[in-house]
């Protein structure tokens, strides 16, 4: 048994197992493979941590089928050659199961991006964040040990209004790592910029650090770790930081909004921390105008394609464009935010996914960066 | 002999062979390597299927040189260390051979993107598509088993006019997989959106399904499989869906047009299904205005660089931009379409290629996503 | 001992060493790993060449710790499990060392992008370039054998004014490869376009070729090898070609400028040929307007994020946009150039880095595509 675990510079991490010869299995997103590997390798690393890293993994053709699990991608009736050895009906059944699970709603542990209500003292909006390791379920059965703000992935949504004085009190409850927060896109005084040894000392385990600044530039921004960030952001230390404009007339009119935080590290390809079918659908009523705030906290581009209806792109990184333009596929790069308006002119369940198809569908069905806009 | 075959999440698939030690061969696009591998590994998978997957493959330095093949990249005089052991003259000869083959025209099996003439019944334009497995030659000697619409890769071009009622009758002649068609970018009623178990049942092998809708939004769109799509689109089930505007005054004026469908799965890096030198040159006359419709059906970005002449970008995903802008390198992400105008103001053979150089050239010469604009 | 050396199609090159079992080391940018590998593998390839290729490499857990080196990422006190086995203090110390080295200034061999003064004959601006192999230090202790123009990586900056007649005399002093120069983005007559066997014969070792043209289209352009270009550009044959407009009124006003040439081949992730902490800081005074010219000569996108201050994007590939727009993260694709203005309204040291975090930071500290804008 030879194991090779390596990390590509785009931070995708791969596990490859080569056992005997010849091994010629198509490695795909398949829990059969994952579990076979985990069992065979007697890893001391927990399955949860691994599943967050494991994107593509192959199994030996000589491995016996493994026991059922609760993972929606684990189709225990499937032979190790899943994807190659299926009949059309078998494959369709797996696809249908995923869609049904999504429509029915998948219960998973942990919900991110929940609004955080500030405490107000002398006019200052005070938000408290605690960094800690928290079990988090990416999709049914796929538990990961996340690094979280207040137990959430993504961290709680911080929302203020232009001109507000904002105080963010950060406590580091991680056991073994310092941290710091960078308010990505927010124009802060330099000493509030969150870069250890450049603008502040790192926040050691057990310590608390207070950021304070006036929210100057409205728009869709982010906050995330800026220390060992490839790992810390990758494992969950990220969230939305939204500054509402004082004068809303500068933005297009909209009736409701959704924030979609894209990621590709913890637990694979996710929207707001969850992989399909555990992703939440966006809902709207016919005739409504929906604002979507895209934020990419991952390491790869994600060209998000909404079926059926165009997206009016009107802001980049929180700055309104001089002239909005329409598209149906918006390429969101790491660190970018894009704001769009969808005019909900047609009822139905509209698929909505990353158009790097490998981020969205395998032979076993849709997974990862897939959700839907449901217009009623 | 240890073989490791794996698939990265961007869907690029790699074959690695490790035999004895030390193996320290630069793995590159080289048929010597491919064939050595295929021979050494006694694979039961056909060469055609593999060549569609094989992007980078290495050979042991202890392998004997292999027999000549017809592949333009197979330089049988080359030692296994090709790229490292070549003289400048040897390398130049290989580069020259590729250019000469391109200029001379490479005959390959299969041509995609051919206009499909509709049958018209009671004012409805009826297009018939049959999904089937078809041998397809990506470049000379590189045969793949493609999944095709009507035997073509890309599938036949469907072109209608804004306001047309369009009927697309799809027959699934695949042996082992269901399918469905999504009209990417086209505003259709939800039940015509092509997502199995969401808007329709999958089209089982042997079944026929009929899509019908009014072509509402003009522009450069696409149609492709939306079931097991990473594999089905990757293997060829994709095509251009162009809706001409009723009023052409909305578009810039142009004298001729070319559609460039980019892909990076079946047979490696391709333009309209072919890899250099089997790619077709674009031709125009001095003074003409050329419209190019870029469509990315692959899994990676492809920043397309035209030498010598700027591109005026005027539409994104079929929607005209409020203000066109100029560039020479246009980054096309998966799922995106971009329309540009090239003002052919200078005669010559202008190289035209993806500027991820590894998608376009190796030590053995240009390959993959390379073509030319020839202005006479 | 099994070695697997392979090249992904994006041209990132990886070394993997697998020795015994189980090997389960996180492979990261670590000279300990590199040197262990080099020692263990008895490679005949020089360390310098390898370090240019080696992005991620793992060591066996059974390997003994290696001797200290001068590389800023070589933390010899670190166990092989670096990143996993560190205390917070150990990790912080490594991060601090990197920042201190950057602030203090890292002396490395070789500086690129230096202005090249033309010789003027009869009104023609004559630039002489010699292609040659040159040792180059990417960051302290990381020597690579670069392919250079005039010994520089990036090659010397060529800067002319719109309307100038420009002559570039290229001598190929490479031992074993022909070459040619393409003036990327510059509108030249076809025979000056630099594509061997298409517009000119290759420039053989020892030969000289002269390019001559009138600089027609102002803006931020590039020049680079267009023969075996994946390798030649990857190893350093690239530079900035800037054409100043005759009438500067067309550009926004600015007080100073910096060119940032991004790369991801030679020596890993670099800005102007150097990796953090050897990257040069950008400096400006409070109130100044800074023009930044981004140029991507690599194989991957690099979304460049400047902390604290927005970037006004006003030109793409040298062509001014009809309407500039603001952002804080600008996604630069291979072959693209983007020009922005930063209004230096806030003093401080502002981190400035690629937001694909794996291009910028590991558990051992920041590295690669990281610099800072220092406003005084």
Distance CA B363, CA B28 (A): 8
Between B177, B230, B331, which is nearest A362 by CB? B230
With a cut of 50, say whether residue C101 has pLDDT above it: yes
ipTM here? 0.82
Exposed/middle/buried for B220, CB within 10 Å: 0-12, 13-18, 19+?
buried
Nearest to B3 among A24, A28, A362 (CB): A24
CB contact under 8 A, A363 and B191: no
Q: Mind listing the pLDDT tens digit for each residue in A22-45?
A: 222 222 223 333 333 323 222 222
pLDDT at A346 exceeding the cut of 80? yes
What's the average model confidence in pLDDT over A57-62? 26
Sign of CA dihedral B31, B32, B36, B39: positive
Grade residue B250 by pLDDT with cuts at 50, 70 and 90.
confident
For chain C, the straight-line distance linking the first and the last C-alpha, in angstroms and rounded, comes to 54
pLDDT > 70: percent of chain B: 78
| 3-state SS class at C232 | helix
Kindly state the tokens that stand for A181.
Answer: 């927060």
- Of B119, B125, B110, give the one whose Cα is nearest residue B241: B125
Question: What is the rounded CA–CA span in Å between residue A31 and residue A51?
Answer: 9
- Cβ count within 10 A of residue B2: 18
Better-predicted residue by pLDDT, C76 or A217:
A217
> Is the distance from CB of A223 to CB of A185 less than 8 angstroms?
no
Rounded average pLDDT over C35-45: 29
Which residue among B176, B202, B321 places its CB closest to the CB of A325?
A: B321
Nearest one of B341, B351, B316 to B102, comparing CA atoms: B351
More confidently predicted of A335 and B2: A335
Please report the DSSP string for C96-134 in residue order: HHHHHHHHH----S-----B-PPEEETTEEEEEEEEEEE
The pTM of the whole model exceeds 0.80: yes
Q: Could you tell me the pLDDT band of residue C347, with boundaries at 50, 70 and 90?
A: very high
Q: If 0-12 CB within 10 Å is exposed, 13-18 middle and 19+ buried, where does residue A376 land?
A: exposed
Q: For residue range B277-319, what is the model confidence (pLDDT) as tens digits?
A: 999 999 999 999 999 999 999 999 999 999 999 999 999 999 9
Tell me the pLDDT of chain A averaged across its residues: 82
CA dihedral B197, A371, B146, B222 (to 10 degrees): 100
Shortest CA gap A221–chain B (Å): 23
Neighbours of chain B (3+ CB pairs under 8 A): A, C
User: How far is it between the farthest Cα atoms of chain B?
Assistant: 70
Residues 6+ away with beta carbon under 8 Å from A100:
B197
Helix (H, G, I), strand (E, B) or coil at C32: helix
**Per-residue pLDDT tens digits for A224-243:** 999 999 999 999 999 999 99
Shortest alpha-carbon distance between residue C358 and chain A (Å) = 5
Binning pLDDT at 50, 70 and 90, where does residue B55 land? very low
CA distance B55 to C223: 28
- What's the pLDDT score for residue B84? 60
**Structure tokens that stand for A293 in this block:** 């705030």
Distance between CA atoms of A79 and A57, rounded to whole angstroms? Answer: 15
What is the structure's pLDDT at A250?
87
Helix (H, G, I), strand (E, B) or coil at C70: coil
3-state secondary structure of C230: helix
Q: Do B5 and A58 touch (CB under 8 A)?
A: yes
What integer best gives the mean pLDDT of chain B? 82
- The DSSP output letter for B83 is T
Residue among B13, B356, B359, B376 with most chain C CBs within 10 A, to mutate:
B356
Say whether A14 and B2 touch across the interface (CB within 8 A): no
What number is the average pLDDT over the span B220-245? 98
Q: A318: pLDDT confidence band, cut at 50, 70 and 90? A: very high
Task: State whether C176 and B87 contact (CB < 8 Å).
Answer: yes
* pLDDT at residue A282 in the model: 98
More confident residue, B26 or C291: C291
Judge contact between B47 and B36, C-beta under 8 A.
no
Q: Indicate the residue of B2, B41, B316 with minimum beta-carbon distance to A327.
A: B316
Rounded mean pLDDT, B246-275: 96
CA–CA distance, B140 with B137 (Å, rounded to integer): 7
pLDDT digits (tens, 9 = 90+) for A164-216: 999 999 999 999 999 999 999 999 999 999 999 999 999 999 999 999 999 99
Average pLDDT over residues A356-360: 98
- Answer whether C176 sits within 8 Å of B100, measured CB to CB: no
Q: Which residue has the tokens 């490395």?
A: C108
Q: What is the mean pLDDT of residues C135-163?
A: 97
Of C5, C82, C162, the closest CA to residue C365 belongs to C82
pLDDT over 80 (residue C192) = yes
Q: For position B78, what pLDDT does the model report?
A: 31
Q: How many CB pairs under 8 A join A and B?
A: 181
A198: chain C residues, CB-CB within 8 Å: 99, 349, 351, 372
Q: What is the pLDDT of residues A111-127, one digit of tens each?
A: 999 999 999 999 999 99
pLDDT given at position C57: 27
d(CA B308, CA B324): 19
Q: Which pLDDT belongs to residue B8?
A: 33
Kindly tell me if the per-residue pLDDT of C6 is higher than 80.
Answer: no
pLDDT tens readout for residues B168-201: 999 999 999 999 999 999 999 999 999 999 999 9
Average pLDDT over residues C47-70: 27
Average of pLDDT values for A338-343?
Answer: 98
* pLDDT tens digits, one per residue of C271-293: 999 999 999 999 999 999 999 99
Token pair, residue B338, equals 């971009």
CB contact under 8 A, B325 and C334: no
Q: What is the 3-state secondary structure (H, E, C) of chain A?
A: CEEEEEECCCCCEEEEEECCCCCCCCCECCHHHHHHHHHHHCCCCCHHHHHHHCCCECCCCCCCCCCCCCCCCCCCCCCCCCCCCCCHHHHHHHHHHHHHHHHHCCCCCCCCCCECCCEEECCEEEEEEEEEEEEEEEECCEEEEEEEECCECCEEEEEEECCCEEEEEEEECCCCCCECEEEECCCCCHHHCCCECCCECCECCCCEEEEEEECCCCEEEEEEECCCHHHHHHCCCEEEEEEECCCHHHCCCCCEEEEEEEECCCCCCEECCECECCCCCEEECCCCEEEEEEEECCCCCEEEEECCCCEEEEEECCEEEEEEEEECEEEECCCCEEEEEEECCCCEEEEEEECCHHHCEECCEECECEEEEEEC
Question: Do the beta carbons of residue C328 and residue C305 sit within 8 Å?
Answer: yes
Touching subunits of C (3+ CB pairs, under 8 Å) are: A, B
Q: Least CA distance to B15: which residue of chain C? A: C6
Could you tell me the two tokens for B288? Answer: 């003409």
The set of residues, in sequence order, having a beta carbon less than 8 Å from that of C294 and lying 6+ positions away, is C220, C260, C262, C304, C330, C332, C336, C337, C338, C339, C340
Instruction: Quick: pLDDT tens for B101-113.
Output: 999 999 999 999 9
How many Å apart are CA A111 and CA B205, to the nearest integer? 40
pLDDT of residue B85: 78
Residues above pLDDT 90, as percent of chain C: 77
Chain-centroid distance of CA C217 in Å reads 25
SS3 at position B53: helix
**pLDDT for res B215:** 98
CA nearest to C206, candidates C173, C181, C228: C173
Under an 8 A CB cutoff, do B327 and C334 touch? no
Backbone conformation region of residue A272, classed left if phi is above 0, alpha if psi is from -120 to 50, else beta: left
Which of B22, B91, B324 lies at the smallest CB-CB distance from C228?
Answer: B91
Greater model confidence, A254 or A20: A254
- Is residue A156 predicted with pLDDT exceeding 80? yes
Q: Tell me the C-alpha distance between A361 and A281, whole Å.
A: 17
Instruction: Count Cβ–Cβ pairs < 8 Å, chain B vs chain C.
Output: 182
Q: Is the pLDDT of residue C49 over 60?
A: no
Q: Is C28 a residue whose pLDDT tops 90?
A: no
Cβ atoms within 10 Å, residue A234: 25
**Nearest by CB: A326 against B1, B231, B319:** B319
Q: With an 8 Å Cβ cutoff, are A199 and C348 in contact?
A: yes
Inter-chain CB proximity C95 and A5 less than 8 Å: no
Residue B215 CA, distance from chain mean position: 25
Instruction: Please tell me the distance from the alpha carbon of residue B272 to that of residue B113, in angstroms, as a whole number.
Output: 7
Condensed to tens digits (0 to 9), the pLDDT of residues B307-363 reads 999 999 999 999 999 999 999 999 999 999 999 999 999 999 999 999 999 999 999
Average pLDDT over residues B116-122: 98
B95 contacts in chain C (CB < 8 Å) = 196-197, 202, 227-228
Q: CB under 8 Å to B223, separation ≥6 — which residues?
A: B155, B158, B168, B181, B182, B183, B184, B186, B238, B239, B240, B241
Give the pLDDT confidence score for residue A84 in this predicted structure: 60
Q: Are B88 and C176 within 8 A, CB to CB? A: yes
Backbone φ, ψ for residue B250 (5° rounding): -70, -25
Q: Residue C275: its chain A contacts at CB < 8 A?
A: none
Rounded distance, CA B228 to CA A90, Å?
A: 12
Would you call A3 and C18 a contact, using CB atoms and an 8 Å cutoff?
Answer: yes
CB C123 within 8 A of CB C160: no
Please tell me the distance from the alpha carbon of residue A323 to that of residue C148, in angstroms, as a whole number. Answer: 43
pLDDT band at C83 (very low <50, low <70, confident <90, very high): low
The SS3 call for residue B256 is: strand
Whether B88 sits inside 8 A of C184 (CB atoms) is no
One DSSP character per residue, C126-192 reads EEEEEEEEEEEEEETTEEEEEEEETTBSSEEEEEEETT-EEEEEEEE--SS--B-EEEET----GGG
Is the confidence at residue B20, as pLDDT, over 60? no
Long-range own/partner contacts, residues C195-200 (CB < 8 A, 24 or more apart): C195/B307, C195/B351, C195/C226, C196/B92, C196/B95, C196/B96, C196/B99, C196/C226, C196/C227, C197/B95, C197/B96, C197/B99, C197/B100, C198/B99, C198/B349, C198/B351, C198/B372, C199/B348, C199/B349
**Would you state the torsion angle of the CA atoms of residues C24, C28, C30, C35, taken in this order, to the nearest 10 degrees?**
50
Out of C95, C346, C358, name the one closest to residue A11 (CB).
C358
CB A214, CB A160: distance < 8 Å: no
CB contact under 8 Å between A325 and B319, yes or no, is yes
């Amino acid at each position: 048994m030879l194991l090779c675990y390596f990390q590509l510079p785009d931070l995708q991490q791969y596990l490859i197992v080569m056992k005997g010869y010849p091994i010629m299995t198509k490695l795909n997103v398949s829990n059969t493979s994952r579990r076979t590997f985990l069992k065979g390798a007697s890893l001391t690393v927990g399955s949860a941590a691994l599943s967050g890293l494991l994107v593509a993994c192959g199994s030996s053709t000589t491995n016996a089928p493994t026991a059922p699990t609760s993972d929606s991608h684990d189709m225990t009736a499937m032979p190790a050659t899943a994807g190659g050895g299926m009949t059309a009906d078998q494959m369709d059944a797996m696809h249908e199961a995923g869609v049904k699970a999504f429509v029915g709603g998948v219960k998973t542990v942990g919900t991110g991006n929940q609004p955080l209500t500030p405490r107000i003292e002398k006019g200052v909006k005070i938000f408290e964040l605690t960094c800690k390791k928290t079990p988090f379920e990416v999709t049914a059965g796929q538990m990961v040990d996340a690094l979280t703000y207040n137990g959430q992935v993504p961290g709680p949504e911080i929302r203020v209004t232009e001109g507000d004085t904002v105080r963010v009190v950060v406590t580091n409850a991680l056991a073994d790592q310092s941290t710091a927060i960078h308010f990505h896109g927010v124009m802060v005084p330099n000493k509030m910029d969150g870069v250890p040894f450049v603008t502040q000392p790192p926040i050691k385990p057990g310590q608390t650090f207070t950021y304070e600044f006036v929210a100057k530039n409205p728009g869709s921004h982010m906050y995330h770790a800026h220390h060992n960030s490839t790992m810390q952001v990758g494992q969950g230390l990220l969230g939305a930081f939204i500054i509402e404009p004082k004068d809303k007339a500068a933005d297009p009119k909209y009736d409701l909004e959704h924030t979609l935080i894209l990621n590709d590290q913890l637990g694979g390809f996710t929207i707001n921390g969850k992989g399909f079918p555990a992703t939440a659908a966006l809902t709207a009523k016919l005739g409504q105008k929906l604002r979507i705030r895209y934020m990419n906290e991952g390491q790869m581009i994600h060209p998000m394609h909404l079926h059926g209806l165009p997206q009016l792109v009107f802001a980049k990184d929180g700055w309104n464009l001089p002239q909005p333009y329409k598209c149906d596929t918006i390429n969101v790069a790491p660190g970018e935010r894009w704001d769009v308006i969808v005019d909900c002119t047609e009822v139905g369940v509209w698929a909505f996914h990353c158009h790097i198809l490998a981020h969205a569908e395998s032979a076993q069905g849709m997974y990862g960066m897939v959700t839907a806009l449901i217009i009623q």
